[in-house]
Structure 1
């Protein structure tokens, strides 16, 4: 006998029990295939060839990294537009999306096309709600895998088609809001990047309070503007931090789940608010390492393999200005010249401290430094607000998924 249940939250015009079904009993499931990669006449056309790479946090996939010609598309198992692409193999197992137009996929993806009386969009949200449970089916093997039989046997709970459509429409409006917020964030980030380029190359200049030009920018060595910080932790109890590329300072407790400094803790360097530190670690975001500003209202400690520094004269230096300059990869050209060999065994680049402090930096008037820093910080604040809105909307959607589905 079929299980009969009801969700916690429901549109008032609907009642009655929901029923459980196997995915294979309410949809046609197709496992993808790949045309011969050695035949280049199959590739580079107008037909979408979906891989796990193409499926991100958005509901829809509208473009793909790889496309097929008509000849290549005809060699594959075609899927009708509006169907669900679900990753069943690999590290991204459980990712899913709807592809609006006819498409095909590689072997890592199963596609579902709902039968009559069932909605693709509704099944999409039902699977999204059950993602973590579905992932468990793959187990802990080296290459996670949900075979087609197990995938077909996954249970989903559903209701009448009108209720399915109303639920799907409601959740789609939430997804559209998230998508618009993501687009807004992307545009703000692009604007910030463009303005950083113009400001740091002096294509755009600020005026002083009287509308006059600020003095021409000077050029100084990093060691003429900043001094190395050598204050060691010793026996003091100070929270240990690391630097994560793209994120900045992050406590070791948060990053690693514990303090990993061990016996080296006594040699860690103490930073105050407004101090900067250079992590020589290579990353995708910062090939030649990254510099971040400590903005905490309390002292933190960082590994002594970092190069930490603070202004020689705080009345002449806006650390916020230089933090933005470094964020814009200003140091990359000089750091590339300083790399004496590839990364060391500990993952750090072989960049000498002496060479680092000899790098030449622009040195504008202090007040112009401040104006540039304040302008860019205002954009950062706007980006942060949008990120918070995205997070809140995503959390709201998760709550709705939990309450509107069985």
Structure 2
């Protein structure tokens, strides 16, 4: 590919070498005709034709018949009037935020058509374009800005058929569209494969955990004998049960440096609960769990020195019981003790009274080594996945005008 260092109007930063003509502005109405979806009575939903709704647009990279959530029972004539076929583009009609209104997705099922709902606008293909290319183009910052800037509303933002007809995009000849679509599809397929690899490792680890914790797999001492029988213990008998402290986001940094080097953990699911970095730490080599909110009961082993917020409980033990093995043992049972009266919660007193079967510390160390090996491999695969996603993002930012 070639890079255009002196980018001129209507030329992307990155191109295949065989293309050098300017891209052209076109109205979406030159490429497709628009129609609102059908509205049925509530008794008609749940069976019949697959029925594309807003969640199908938002939750998928592209839409195929089998991934559509809902269905609707309508007459054949109504289905044909509202048919969705390969290459059609679906738009979200309204949203509570301007940033999300008019989100687009493409229907890529060549075998089975579908229909669509009243909160969706269908763009029926009438001109030559590569559907995959157009799907990516409509997700670029410039295309999103063109759509959202034309949306109307105050408490809820909307786009209509006339709005979408007036949207201008910058596109290229079909041959270049095909090349770009092919490249991005290959990147997408590799990302999908990488996700599958990581999920497979997660399943392998889960299966191993089940066999170890059911004691189908046992470990032996150096003399060849099995380690001692596991003993039932209350968490409060083995650990000091405490929790983290409030820390304002403004006091953290989002990346580590020589001063702000201690990770701060909270209740969020992304980045393994990592919220930022701080210049002080509270604990070292301990087990944490989420005390409040949607992730209440989630247990993690935290290696090294760290800070954690007040929605994290902490288990401290100087005798060696704080390790990945015990964290996984706990994680397999703690969710049964979460209270769902009001906000989900698993507080210190409840945690302290949970009983689990504990292996001896030497066997815990053996089990922890096995589990850590899985985690290390998944970490390597996850890093590669992040690189693939960064590569895709770079291409999306530079292959379009």
Instruction: Give the TM bin, normalised by the shorter chain.
Output: 0.7 to 0.9
Aligned residues: 369
Q: Aligned-pair distance for 1:78?
A: 0.7
- TM-score, length-scaled by structure 2: 0.79
Kept in 2, the 8 Å contact 1:227–1:312? The answer is no
Show structure 1 runs of 5+ residues with no match.
Answer: 260-268
Partner of 2:105: 96
Matches within 5 A, 1:200-215: 200-209=213-222, 212-215=225-228
Distance 2:317 2:307 in 1: 18
Q: Mark the CA change 1:372 to 1:16 in structure 2 (over 3 Å): closer, same or farther.
A: same
What TM-score does the superposition give when structure 1 sets the normalisation length?
Answer: 0.78
Q: Does 1:13 align with 2:21?
A: no
1:251–1:72 Cα change, 3 Å: same
Deviations 1:303-337 (A, max 9, x none): 3x7543311522xx242212222333x1233x24x
Instruction: Find the aligned partners of 1:95 and 1:191 in 2 and give their Cα distance.
Output: 37
SS in 2 for 1:206: coil
1:127 shift after superposition:
0.7
Note the C-alpha offset of 1:187. 2.5
| CA contact 1:318–1:369 (8 Å) conserved in 2 | no
Equivalent in the alignment of 2:267: 244
Match of 2:71 among 67, 71, 83: 67
Q: More displaced, 81-90 or 241-250?
A: 241-250
Shift of 1:192: 2.7
Is 2:316 aligned against 1:321? no
Change (3 A) 1:124 1:191: same
Query: Are the equivalent residues in 2 in contact too, given 1:273–1:299 (CA < 8 A)?
Result: yes
**Whole-angstrom CA distance in 1 between matches of 2:216 and 2:76:** 48
Asked if residue 309 in structure 1 is aligned to residue 333 in structure 2, the reply is no
Aligned Cα RMSD in Å? 3.4
Shift of 1:77: 0.8
Post-superposition CA distance 1:376-400 (Å, at most 9, x none) = 2222233333332232222212221
1:282 aligned onto 2:293: yes
Counterpart secondary structure, 1:21:
strand
Q: In structure 2, how many angstroms separate the alpha carbons of the residues matched to 1:279 and 1:230?
A: 10
Mapped to 2, the partners of 1:5 and 1:122 lie a distance apart of: 16
Gaps (5+ residues) in structure 2? 1-7, 247-258
Q: Which residue of 2 aligns with 1:377?
A: 372
User: Is 1:86 aligned with 2:62?
Assistant: no
Q: Which residue of 1 aligns with 2:130?
A: 119
Per the TM alignment, residue 372 of structure 1 is displaced from its structure 2 partner at its CA by 2.2
> Equivalent of 2:55, from 47, 53, 56?
53
Residues 401 and 348 (structure 1 numbering): CA distance in 2 closer, same or farther, change over 3 Å? closer
State whether structure 2 residue 355 is matched by structure 1 residue 360. Answer: yes
Aligned in 2, Cα 1:224/1:122: closer, same or farther, shift over 3 Å?
same
Cα–Cα, structure 1 residues 77 and 279, in superposed 2: closer, same or farther, change >3 Å?
same
Change over 3 Å in CA distance of 1:200–1:14 after alignment to 2: same
